Amino acid sequence: MTLEKVIDDKIADLLMKIDKQKLPKHIAIIMDGNGRWASRKGLPRSFGHKQGVSVLKKILKSAKNLGCKVLTVYAFSTENWTRPTKEVNFLINLFSEVLKNEIKEIHEESIKIKFVGDLTPFPKNLKEIISSSESLTKNNNKFSFNVCVNYGGRQEIVKVAKELALKSSTGEINPSEINEELFNSELLTRGIKDPELLIRTSGEKRISNFLLWQLAYSEIYISDVLWPEFNEHEFLKAIIDYQSRTRRFGGIESLPNESLEDSQSSS
Ligand code: IPE
Ligand code: IPE
Ligand code: MG
What would the pLDDT profile of 62-102 be if each residue is shown by its tens digit? Answer: 999 999 999 999 999 999 999 999 999 999 999 999 999 99
List the catalytic residues: 32, 80
The CA 94 to ligand 1 mean position distance, Å, reads 14
Atom of ligand 2 nearest to the CA of 76: 6
Residue 7 has a pLDDT of 86
Alpha carbon distance 122, 94 (integer Å): 13
Atom of ligand 2 nearest to the CA of 227: 5
Sign of CA dihedral 213, 218, 224, 230: negative
Alpha carbon distance 229, 231 (integer Å): 6
Backbone angles phi, psi at 203, to 5 degrees: 80, -5
Q: Indicate if the pLDDT at residue 10 is higher than 80.
A: yes
The CA 231 to ligand 1 mean position distance, Å, reads 17
Q: What is the pTM of this model?
A: 0.95
pLDDT above 90 coverage of the chain, percent: 91
Residue 256 has a pLDDT of 66
Alpha carbon distance 143, 236 (integer Å): 18
Residue 3 has a pLDDT of 87
Question: Which domains, from first to last, does the chain contain?
Answer: 26-152+193-266 (3.40.1180.10)
36, 82, 224, best to mutate for ligand 1 pocket (most atoms within 8 Å of CB): 36
The ligand 1 site (C-beta within 6 Å) comprises 31-36, 76, 80, 91, 202
Q: Is residue 16 packed enough to be buried (19+ CB in 10 Å), middle (13-18) or exposed (0-12)?
A: exposed
As a whole number, mean pLDDT of residues 13-35 equals 98
